[in-house]
Amino acid sequence: MGILSWTLLIPLFGGILMMLIPSRDSYSEKSSASIYGWIALGITTLAMVVSIFMLINFDNSADGYQFQEKFEWIPQFGLNYHLGIDGISILLFMLTTIIMPFSVLSSFKYIQKRKKEYYIWLLFLEFTMLGAFVALNLFIFYIFWELMLIPMFFLIGIWGGPKRIYATVKFVLFTVVGSLMMLAGIVYLAILARNTFGEFTFEFEQLMKLNIPLQTQLWLFAAFALAFAIKVPMFPFHTWLPDAHVEAPTAGSVILAGVLLKMGGYGFIRLGIPLFGDAALQAAPLMQLLAVIGIVYGACLALAQSDLKKLVAYSSISHLGYVMLGLFALTPEAIQGSILQMVNHGISTGALFALVGMIYERRHTREIADFGGLAYRLPLFSVAFMIITLSSVALPGTNGFIGEFLILLGSFKAAWAQYLAHQQVFGLVLMVFATSGVILGAYYMLWMVQRVFFGPLNNDKNKNLKDLSFREMVVLIPFIIFVFWIGLFPKSYLTKMEKSVNSYVEQYQPQELKQKLTVPDEHEGLAEKSTEIIKTKP
C-alpha cells in the first residue's frame, strides 16, 4: 500500500475505531473538549503528518501522476482502485489534510451534543474528500463524489441551526440532481469505451483517448458540467450554498467552503475539460460569462446581507467565479491562478467562517446590526479578522492577491488574443466586469468590518465579551501564516503545479490562442536589456 492510501485510510479506520469506543453519555457532557474531540484531532493530525511526508517526496519536475497505486477490483467492468496525484491535485489534497485538524479544533466548544457521532462523520468526510482528489478511475471518483454527501447531510442535519432540515435537503437535492446527470454521462462514456477498446474501462487516461464526435461531446459535457457547476457553485445554481452555510455548524462551514466547493472546480479541470476538450472550448464563453455574472452578482448579494455568515457565503460565490473564469481561459497564468485561488479561498473563507463561529459562540447572534465597536473590546480578534478580510479582498502581499491577479492577468491575455484573432470585444468586456469585482469586494467586506468592529460600542451585551482564547489562537494562527506565506512567497506553491499545468495547457489550449499568444516573444530581448541598464554601475 502506498502513501496515498495510508493518508486516505487513516481517517477511515480512525472513524471506525471511534465507533468501537463505548459511548459515554455524551448528551450530558458539559466539558468543552471531550475525549472524542481529542481522538479526532489526533487522527486528523496523523493524516496531515503523513501527507506532509508525501509532499516532501513529491517531484516538482515530473509531469504526470505520482505515487500511483492500482488494484483490480471488478476487472470485468474495468473498475480499478487507482490512485495518483499530480501538480493539479496536490495543493488541494494538502489543503484538505491541513484544514481538517483545525476544523476539529474549532468544534470543541460549538458541538455540545452527540459528540462521538459528530467526529466520526467528520473523519468519514475527510476520507471521501481526499479520495475524490486522488482517484484516477472515473467510477471510484464517482463513488467518493457521492459518498461525500452523506457525512455532510448528517453534519448539517443534526448539528445545524434552526432551519437545518430545509438547508440539508436543499443541499442534497441540488447536488444529487447534478450528480445523477453525471452518472448517466459516465455510463455512456463506459459504453463508448467498450465500443472503441473492446472492453469496459473507467480509467481517466483511457477515457481521454476516446474520439467523441462534437455533438455527443456537448451533451456529455453538459451532464458533467451541471454536476460540477452546482458543486462550485456557479450562478444560477448557487442558492443552496447560503442556506447550507448558514445552518451548518462552524466546522461544517469551514470544510464546506474550504474543501467541498473545490470539488466543482477540480472536476472541471480534471474531467470536464480533458474529457470533452472541443465541447469545453465551445462552451468556454458561456462558462466565462456565468463566472463573471457570479463574481458581480455574488458581490452584490453579499452587499445586501445583514447576517455575517450569509455575507461570507455570498462572497464565496464571487470568489469562486474568479476560479471558473480562470479555468476556462486556458492560459497557464490563469489556470495556475485558479488552482491557487481555490486554495486561497479555502484559507481565507475557511478562516472567516471560523471567526464568525467564534463570535457566534460568544453572542449567539450573527446579525451585523447587533454588533459595532468590537475592535475596542476584542483587539486580537479584530486584528485576526482584519487580516483575513484583507486576504479576502485580495490586498497585494496576501494570498488572495496572487490568485486573483494571475487569474485576471491570464484571462485578459486570452481575451486579448481572441480580440486580435476575431476582433471580438466580448472577452474584453467580460474582463472589465470581472475586474470590477475588486471594487465591490472591498465595498462589502470593509462595510461589514466597519459595522461590526468600528463605531461606538453601544450594545450592552457586547461590553463583556472575552477576547481570543489560546485554543482559538491555535486555530487562527496557521491560517494567518498561510495568508502571508502564499502572499509573499508564492513561488514554492506555483512551481508545484507548474509542470502539470503547462503540459495541460499545451494539450487543451485552442490552436489559435497559441499562435496569438506567441506574439510577445519578439520582445524577449527586452528583459535582458533592462537588467543591463541596472548593472551599468561602474
Partner 1 sequence: MENSLILIIVLLPLAGALLNGIVAAANAYRKKEIWGEKISGILAFSTVALSFILSMYAVFVKMAGAEAIACTPYQWMTAGGLNVNITFMIDHLSAVMLLVVTGVSAVIHFYSIGYIHGDKSSVRYFTYLNLFVFAMLLLILGDSMPVMFVGWEGVGLCSYLLIGFWYKEDEKAAAGKKAFIVNRIGDFGFLLGMFLIFANVGSLAIADVNEYFHQHNSMTFFWTNVAAICLFIGATGKSAQIPLYVWLPDAMAGPTPVSALIHAATMVTAGVYMVCRFHGVYLAAPVAMQVVLWVGGLTALFSATIALYQNDIKKVLAYSTVSQLGFMFMAAGAGAFVIAIFHLMTHAFFKACLFLGSGSVIHAMGGEQDIRYMGGLKKFMPATFLTFTLATLAIAGFPPFAGFFSKDEILWNVFASGHGNKIVWLIGMVAALCTAFYMFRLVYLTFFGSFRGSRQQEHHLHESPKTMTVPLMILAALSVVGGWIGIPKLLSFGAIPNYFHDYLEPTLSKYGHVHIDHYSHATEYALMALSVAIAFAGWLLARMLFRELKYRLPDPATYTGISRLLWNKYFIDEIYMKFIVNPIKYLSTNIFLNIADKKIIDGAANGSASGWKWVAVLLSFFQSGNIQAYGFYMLFGATIAFIFALFLF
Q: Out of 174, 276, 479, 504, which residue is the one contacting partner 1 (CB under 8 A)?
A: 174
* Complex with partner 1: residue 258 or 490, whichever CB lies closer: 490
Does the protein bind partner 1 through residue 460 (CB under 8 A)? no
Name the nearest CA neighbour of 250 among 145, 98, 363, 108.
108
Residues 6+ apart with CB under 8 A from 94: 51, 52, 55
The cell numbers describing 167, all together, are: 438547508
**Amino acid residing at 449:** V
- Nearest distance from C-beta of residue 504 to partner 1, angstroms: 12
Does the protein bind partner 1 through residue 395 (CB under 8 A)? yes
Does the protein bind partner 1 through residue 1 (CB under 8 A)? no
Pick the stretch among 77-85, 93-101, 191-199, 442-450 that binds partner 1 (CB under 8 A). Answer: 442-450
* Complex with partner 1: residue 210 or 303, whichever CB lies closer: 303
- Nearest distance from C-beta of residue 416 to partner 1, angstroms: 4
DSSP state of 256: I
Name residues contacting partner 1, limited to 352-391 (CB under 8 A).
373, 375-376, 379-380, 383, 390
Does the protein bind partner 1 through residue 61 (CB under 8 A)? no
Does the protein bind partner 1 through residue 323 (CB under 8 A)? no
- Distance, in Å, from the CA atom of 14 to the CA atom of 273, rounded to the nearest integer, reads 36
- Where b means 16+ CB within 10 Å and e means fewer, 229-252 reads bbbbbbbebbebbbbbbbbbbbbb
Q: How big is the site for partner 1, counted in residues (CB under 8 A)?
A: 83
Q: Is the torsion defined by CA of 490, 311, 92, 231 positive or negative?
A: negative
CB 338, CB 323: distance < 8 Å: yes
Does the protein bind partner 1 through residue 25 (CB under 8 A)? no
Residue pointed to by grid coordinates 495547457: 505
Q: Out of 426, 455, 485, 514, which residue is the one contacting partner 1 (CB under 8 A)?
A: 455
Residues 6+ apart with CB under 8 A from 106: 250, 251, 254, 354, 357, 358, 472, 475
* Complex with partner 1: residue 447 or 508, whichever CB lies closer: 447
* Complex with partner 1: residue 169 or 183, whichever CB lies closer: 169
- Distance, in Å, from the CA atom of 13 to the CA atom of 324, rounded to the nearest integer, reads 35
Q: Out of 147, 176, 300, 465, which residue is the one contacting partner 1 (CB under 8 A)?
A: 300
Q: Is the torsion defined by CA of 338, 339, 342, 344 positive or negative?
A: negative
Does the protein bind partner 1 through residue 332 (CB under 8 A)? yes
Does the protein bind partner 1 through residue 464 (CB under 8 A)? no
Q: Out of 67, 93, 453, 482, which residue is the one contacting partner 1 (CB under 8 A)?
A: 453
Pick the stretch among 75-83, 133-141, 186-194, 444-452 that binds partner 1 (CB under 8 A). Answer: 444-452
* Complex with partner 1: residue 247 or 333, whichever CB lies closer: 333
Does the protein bind partner 1 through residue 64 (CB under 8 A)? no
- Nearest distance from C-beta of residue 44 to partner 1, angstroms: 27
Does the protein bind partner 1 through residue 326 (CB under 8 A)? no
C-alpha distances in Å from residue 510, one per residue of 279, 326, 327: 12, 15, 13
Does the protein bind partner 1 through residue 406 (CB under 8 A)? yes
- Nearest distance from C-beta of residue 526 to partner 1, angstroms: 4
Q: Which helix (H) or strand (E) holds 356?
A: helix 332-363
Q: Out of 97, 336, 392, 500, which residue is the one contacting partner 1 (CB under 8 A)?
A: 336
Other residues' Cβ atoms within 10 Å of the Cβ of residue 3: 17
- Nearest distance from C-beta of residue 75 to partner 1, angstroms: 40
Residue 145 half-sphere exposure toward CB, CA atoms < 13 A: 27
Name residues contacting partner 1, limited to 80-109 (CB under 8 A).
none
Name the nearest CA neighbour of 175 among 132, 117, 208.
132
Does the protein bind partner 1 through residue 465 (CB under 8 A)? no
Q: CA 78, 81, 87 angle in degrees (round to 5)? A: 110
**SS3 state of residue 85:** strand
* Complex with partner 1: residue 364 or 523, whichever CB lies closer: 523
Q: Out of 56, 456, 464, 511, which residue is the one contacting partner 1 (CB under 8 A)?
A: 456
Does the protein bind partner 1 through residue 432 (CB under 8 A)? yes
DSSP per-residue codes, 404-461:
HHHHHHHHHHHHHHHHHHH---HHHHHHHHHHHHHHHHHHHHHHHHHHHHSS----GG
Q: Out of 117, 203, 333, 472, which residue is the one contacting partner 1 (CB under 8 A)?
A: 333
Name residues contacting partner 1, limited to 480-509 (CB under 8 A).
488-491, 494-495, 498, 502, 505
